[in-house]
Structure 1
Amino acid sequence: MAGRPPSHNSKRIFPAVANPSPEQPDSDSREDARNPPADLSLAERRLVARLDRLWRSESETTLSEERRSIGPYQIIRTVGHGAFGVVFQAIDPRLNRDVAVKVPRPEVLVCYEKLQRFADEAQTAARLDHPGIVPVYAAELAGPTPYIASAFCSGPDLAAWLETHPAANRSCEEVVRFLLPIVQAVAYAHSQGVVHRDIKPSNIMLTALDPAANGDRLGDYAPRLTDFGLAKLTDAPLASSRSSWILGTPTYMAPEQLLPQWGAVGEKADIFALGAMLWELIVGEPPRADQTYSDIIAQLLSEAEALPPLPRADVPQDLRSIVHACVAKDPNERYRSVDRLVQDLEAFLAGERVSVRRSGWFDAFRRWASQPRRPQQICFFAIAQNLVMMIWMIAASLLSWTSLYHGVDPAAVSLQMVSIGLSYNLVTAFLCWLRLYGHKWATTAALVLTILAADLVPILVLTGVMDTFPDMYRDLPYFNATNHVLILLLGLSQTFLFSVSLFADYQQSRREGAGSKLAQ
């Protein structure tokens, strides 16, 4: 929201309006220009496109002498630009070292939310000190042109490298060995209370380990994670973290970043992104490469997995299990923490057994039962089933008065049928209706009622422990057994369905509980 004043607990030091000189270059937190953020309006997207063309042509020319400095840094060249700015390679003359300087674009400077995001990146990255994370050296957030100065990585980003290097020549061990430092860096960030939320190849910078190497193998580079512009501080208030926004790159976004029914965005969103990147490094092309937002949403609403199985036939089963445990649609089915993922990747490289192995049909059933929409689907089915049964019971009682049941007391038939239909079927349908409107306790009540009325009573009758309307079945005893077997089958089916609904509610409470811990 442009022009929104800072909140009372914010410690920002931005000017009210910051209009940079047209001679000063602008920068970004390395947002990939091919994937502009989802919160940009159509007008902003067009402006970004025009600025991209302007700065792309500018980056191909030599900067004039008066435009070579940003703060104390001397600009050498433009190395990247995106939806929020441009990244420059510069020299710090005081220490005689290369640095990467980021400066927000003009439209970012007049939008408080976007400028706040730029400051968040500086403050978040500055608290992290890990060899797998690009360090921040300095930041100026109060001047007319805010900037962030960080370590300069001499190589390309991983996305650019992957475009020119197919996956056919990459072994699975090489991929895991390359990605392991990034996974360790994410685990460290989580231990410091930072969730990245936008892990993707374009945010992985490569530094050549050997300048003499040709750079055709992943092993020729040391990867480092950058761009914490969308990061979430787990100890920050929920309102200041903008967690409700749809942020990130769709190709690598977890289901909960697109659909709130899958839970709050937390550490497991980073696990999904790491798995999606591992999937891409193995396969050679990005997951969801040809899908639109609508395609992705439709897939998440279906029963299909978030990502397809790995198509390469030579991928070991342990590595397939690791990828599957990262990119599971349900956050509860993913690794509990990135530390667990680190341990399994190290075990894979050592030839040891990994902790995640798919057990077949049971895992498939658990995933089916955990779907967020499962309770609503069960309620619709149970309402229809119980209403049909109630109508059948009442119709049977009416038929008894037409002498179709010869030798049977019509009053006894009507009493049994109406009592079952009204006291069980109608009440159960009403409880399911309450559950559709969010009353989760109604599922427990329906399950208890089903066990008592439709499971326990028929079993007691069939085993001879108790009699029901003995005069009614004096001449037709087999009909007594048949009737109660049908009631028992109905009860067992509804007991199963209500149990599944309770399990789905439990899984959803786990997802929401993880989000509550994140927001505290």
Structure 2
Amino acid sequence: MTKSPKTIGHYEVKELIGKGGMGEVYLCYDPKTERDVALKRIRPEMHGIPLIRQRFLKEAKIAAQLTHPAILGVYSIEENFQDLFYIMPFIQGKTLKTLLASYRQSKASTIHLVRDFLTICHAVQYAHSKGVLHRDLKPENILIGPFNEVLIYDFGLAEYADMNEESFDDMPVLKSHPDLTRVGKIVGTITYMAPERILEKLDSVQSDIYSLGVILYQILTLKHPFKRQSVKQFKQQAQEEKILDPIDVAPMREIPPLLAKIAMRCLSFKKEHRYQNLKEMISDLEQYFEGKADWVFAARLDPKNPSDWELQETVVLKQTKDWAIYMLSSTLFPGNVKLEAHITLEKGSEGVGFLLGVAHRM
């Protein structure tokens, strides 16, 4: 086992706190600012590989450009012929992955974590506004601090929205460093990846939204929405993958219907059925916190499409056989009026809603 260095640059190394495919993270003391910092440097055995250095440097620059309270920032980037590292704030907290594991043991409610999840969504929305896709959103890349700090970190797989997977996946050097990528040249964590990323290698805002949906599902149920063993297995069974409603998966956890609906929409197989941007998703989450969770979005109707309004063609009043669109008045219907509807839902229908306007004459 390689011993940790005593110093890196002018930083005094306290301990190694993490190690990944490309880099290693140390808790260090900065004597110039007299504070603890987190230092991430490229692994020594990869220092001499230009393409690995390029990717590591790109990760640091992307994180440095994202100045948001819920994104772990970068103080500085230092590069020379011997070393490449960057400096971040040191936050003594726990990852969301660790917290969820503890909740599985205690069986306590996790609804309060939804507010932290909303903070995460705002941070990802900000990254998207800067043209950055995270591409590896998962609980272990989310840090929760002791003073309610909520931070996304590890932009090692991040790309600008106009890039594609080939920007790094097809590098020949990966053959000698298989821990830097995934089977089939797909980077990311398969259990958090949108179907189109696995099947077509396509990244988009909607693929990050899918990953957020997996995280929300886990917060609500403390379970994963599906089991994926490998890229090969998913490709063979993609169309058969079924995701159960969180309420059905964890009926004893009293999951609010609106939150379950948000998670399920994020996890739609086709990206056009998901939220098209974080603004839409955040709006629904804020609706929950405002106590307006009784109205749940089911489908968007197109007034120009007759098939969206077939219900009107079958709604009649029992005695008059007329359309059920009426202006009721005391002269037309003296006394109390009762409207009764008998509705038959076709296969695949999710529900029906009524809007009744009552005018009161003073």
- The answer to whether structure 1 residue 291 and structure 2 residue 291 are counterparts is no
| CA–CA separation in structure 1 for the residues paired with 2:295 and 2:161 | 27
Q: What does the per-residue CA deviation read over 1:441-488, in whole Å, with 9 as the maximum and x for residues that have no partner?
A: xxxxxxxxxxxxxxxxxxxxxxxxxxxxxxxxxxxxxxxxxxxxxxxx
Give the CA deviation at 1:289. Answer: 5.1
Q: CA RMSD in A?
A: 2.6
> Which residue is equivalent to 2:109?
170
- The answer to whether structure 1 residue 96 and structure 2 residue 34 are counterparts is yes
Give the number of the structure whose residues are more often helix, by fraction: 1
> Which residue is equivalent to 1:257?
197
> Which residue is equivalent to 1:503?
none
Q: Which amino acid aligns with 1:224?
A: L
> Which residue is equivalent to 1:351?
291
Give the CA deviation at 1:351. Answer: 1.4
Matched-pair contact (CA < 8 Å) for 1:344–1:355:
no
SS in 2 for 1:164: helix
Q: 1:241 to 1:294 in 2, by over 3 A?
A: closer
Give the CA deviation at 1:150. Answer: 0.8
SS in 2 for 1:89: strand
> Which residue is equivalent to 2:155?
228
Q: How do 1:381-400 and structure 2 match up within 5 A?
A: none
> Which residue is equivalent to 1:130?
68
Q: How do 1:187-198 and structure 2 match up within 5 A?
A: 187-198=125-136
- The answer to whether structure 1 residue 179 and structure 2 residue 117 are counterparts is yes
Q: How do 1:481-500 and structure 2 match up within 5 A?
A: none
The alignment-based identity, stated in percent, is 32
Q: 1:309 to 1:73 in 2, by over 3 A?
A: same
> Which residue is equivalent to 1:75?
13
Aligned pair count reads 283
Give the CA deviation at 1:290. Answer: 6.3
Give the CA deviation at 1:346. Answer: 1.0
| CA–CA separation in structure 2 for the residues paired with 1:207 and 1:254 | 28
Q: How do 1:290-369 and structure 2 match up within 5 A?
A: 291-300=229-238, 302-305=239-242, 307-310=243-246, 311-313=249-251, 314-353=254-293, 357-358=297-298
> Which residue is equivalent to 2:186?
246
> Which residue is equivalent to 2:81?
143
Runs of 4+ with >6 A deviation: none
| CA–CA separation in structure 1 for the residues paired with 2:256 and 2:19 | 38
TM-score of the superposed pair, with normalisation by structure 2: 0.71
Q: 1:237 to 1:312 in 2, by over 3 A?
A: closer
Structure 2: 5+ residue stretches without partners: 171-183, 301-362
| CA–CA separation in structure 2 for the residues paired with 1:280 and 1:236 | 29
Matched-pair contact (CA < 8 Å) for 1:232–1:241:
no
Q: Which amino acid aligns with 2:155?
A: F
Structure 1: 5+ residue stretches without partners: 1-53, 210-220, 361-520
TM-score of the superposed pair, with normalisation by structure 1: 0.51
Q: 1:359 to 1:343 in 2, by over 3 A?
A: closer
Deviates most, 182-191 or 290-299: 290-299
| CA–CA separation in structure 2 for the residues paired with 1:107 and 1:160 | 30
SS in 2 for 1:149: strand
Matched-pair contact (CA < 8 Å) for 2:161–2:203:
no
| CA–CA separation in structure 2 for the residues paired with 1:332 and 1:245 | 25
| CA–CA separation in structure 2 for the residues paired with 1:275 and 1:102 | 29
| CA–CA separation in structure 2 for the residues paired with 1:316 and 1:148 | 42
Give the CA deviation at 1:97. Answer: 1.7
